[in-house]
Amino acid sequence: MRQTIQPRSGTAFTIKKGERLKVIDPEGEQVADIYAFNEHDKTEFLSSGRTLDYNESIRFKTGSKLYSNLSEVMFEIIEDKVEDHDFLLTPCSVDTFRHFYPDEEPVPGCYGNLVAAFAEFDIPAHHVGTTFNTFMNVDISDSGKIAVLPPKSQAGDFTVFEAKMDMIVGLTACSAGESNNFRYKPIQFEILPAQTV
Amino acid sequence: MRQTIQPRSGTAFTIKKGERLKVIDPEGEQVADIYAFNEHDKTEFLSSGRTLDYNESIRFKTGSKLYSNLSEVMFEIIEDKVEDHDFLLTPCSVDTFRHFYPDEEPVPGCYGNLVAAFAEFDIPAHHVGTTFNTFMNVDISDSGKIAVLPPKSQAGDFTVFEAKMDMIVGLTACSAGESNNFRYKPIQFEILPAQTV
């Protein structure tokens, strides 16, 4: 069943090993941040650094695996219409809004939305680290400069992640202007059952 | 007073706001991983993601600031003879040795050395995240491929970090072959007093 995350909000849910998380961008150009914990040991969580290490790449596509801080595979991308995602930058937050948009009233952002969603699973705020930013288009220049560009995702594009362990997963419709071509749209998702051979 | 970290080992110590940490590569081509906690709140720690966000760059040099997960400045680089460091990759560990060098007997690596050093300050292992890898030479190709190259640091080169809060700091002489041009050397460091105007 398809569920909708309203613009600039987030949710958390459990997923079992073998099930698949389909993240859909219904209107296009909208980022969805993902973070995850081992359901049975909340000190094991998604790790940008380990994932960059083992993929030996900052680009992600079908076949890429996302690792935990304990070097276990949490997700594998098994289908991907976009193949342009980010795993360098932290979820937007009150602090990042103050830093980048000092004239705007700050909103909770993906970080605040994830912290609130994970709190229902008794996960403390400081355990929420760098998110896998689905559909986020980040360019690195030859000099190392980071630029955030409009997502390449078009209406209806999606990425499917297979769960490699039982997890608590947080997912957002990103709240940052620059990341979403300055229009805040919903994100949709489905939990698909484990595939039987 | 200059202190020496033996090859493939690590240590932890406190530093006060305003003091400066001088990290020296005495022989050249040796990486030193740094991680840090707010001495007064160990749920505040060094954050790769926040630092990449606010620097808007994956390159670091004199003037670069290193941020915590709470978006506070922990360190500022105030002098830097190398200006080539990494803040993408996790410290080497038993798991990374098994992954990259399956035929070798794994060693604790920077992660194991940091976990042991921080344990004396009652900091749990899962709070040790992506380290600032001083002198580590990481190249990102146009396609996003990560390559670890020999450090550009020469004998006697150093980087000076000014502490912007009271911290518990972990520092290693890195244990990974590829990162250190396949020779394991010591790292030296000094804590310099706060500068008086």
Three-state SS for chain A is CCEEECCCCEEEEEECCCCEEEEEECCECCCEEEEEEECCEEEEEECHHHHHHHHCECCCCCCCEEEECCCCEEEEEEEECCCCCECCCCCCCHHHHHHHCCCCCCCCHHHHHHHHHHHCCCCCHHHCCCCEEECCEEEECCCCEEEEECCCCECCEEEEEEECCCEEEEEECCCCCHHHCCCCCCEEEEEECCCCC
Return the pLDDT at A101: 87
Return the residue matching tokens 């680089």.
B77
Return the pLDDT at A196: 72
Q: What is the largest CA-CA distance in chain A?
A: 55
* Torsion from C-alpha of B140, B142, B144, B149, nearest 10 degrees: -20
Range of the domain at A106: 3-192
Is A164 contained in some domain?
yes
Is B33 contained in some domain?
yes
Q: What is the pLDDT of residues A147-190, one digit of tens each?
A: 999 999 999 999 999 999 999 999 999 999 999 999 999 999 99
Return the residue matching tokens 């995850």.
A36
Q: How confident is the model at residue A122 (pLDDT cuts 50, 70, 90)?
A: very high
Is B43 contained in some domain?
yes
Task: Give the residue-averaged pLDDT of A68-86.
Answer: 98
A182 min Cα distance to partner chain B (Å): 18
Q: How confident is the model at residue A104 (pLDDT cuts 50, 70, 90)?
A: confident
Query: Does residue B143 belong to the interface with chain A, where contact is any CB pair within 8 Å?
Result: yes
The answer to whether the CB of B89 falls within 8 A of the CB of B111 is no
Return the residue matching tokens 């390159």.
B59
The answer to whether the CB of A21 falls within 8 A of the CB of A194 is no
More confident residue, A79 or A177: A79
ipTM value for the complex: 0.95
Paired with A134 in beta bridges are A32
The answer to whether the CB of A63 falls within 8 A of the CB of A70 is no
The answer to whether the CB of B145 falls within 8 A of the CB of A56 is yes
Is B197 contained in some domain?
no
Q: How confident is the model at residue A197 (pLDDT cuts 50, 70, 90)?
A: low
**Residue of B50, B54, B90 with shortest CB distance to A53:** B90
Judged by CB atoms closer than 8 Å, whether chains meet at B99 and A145 is answered as no
Q: How confident is the model at residue A25 (pLDDT cuts 50, 70, 90)?
A: very high
Return the pLDDT at B196: 72
How far CA A1 is from CA of A13, A189, A190, in Å, comes to 14, 8, 6
Task: Give the residue-averaged pLDDT of A69-74.
Answer: 97
**Residues with Cβ within 8 Å of residue B62, at least 6 apart in sequence:** B77, B78, B79, B80, B83
Q: What is the pLDDT of residues B55-106, one digit of tens each?
A: 999 999 999 999 999 999 999 999 999 999 999 999 999 999 999 988 888 8
Is A155 contained in some domain?
yes
Check the CA dihedral A80-A85-A87-A90 and report its sign: negative
Distance CA(A168)–CA(B193), nearest Å, equals 46
Is A197 contained in some domain?
no
Is B26 contained in some domain?
yes
Judged by CB atoms closer than 8 Å, whether chains meet at A88 and B124 is answered as no
Return the pLDDT at B197: 63
Question: Residues of A with CB below 8 A from B47's CB?
Answer: 90, 129-130
Query: Does residue B155 belong to the interface with chain A, where contact is any CB pair within 8 Å?
Result: no
Distance CA(A195)–CA(B129), nearest Å, equals 34
Is A55 contained in some domain?
yes
Return the pLDDT at B125: 97
- Mutation target to probe the A interface, by most A beta carbons within 10 A, among B99, B110, B114, B126 is B126
Cα–Cα nearest to A158, from A138, A181, A194, A187:
A187
Q: Which structure tokens are listed for A19?
A: 């099930």
Res. A16: pLDDT tops 70: yes
**What is the number of CB-based contacts under 8 A between chain A and chain B?**
99
Query: Does residue A102 belong to the interface with chain B, where contact is any CB pair within 8 Å?
Result: no
Low-confidence ranges of chain B (pLDDT < 50): none
| Structural domains counted in chain B | 1
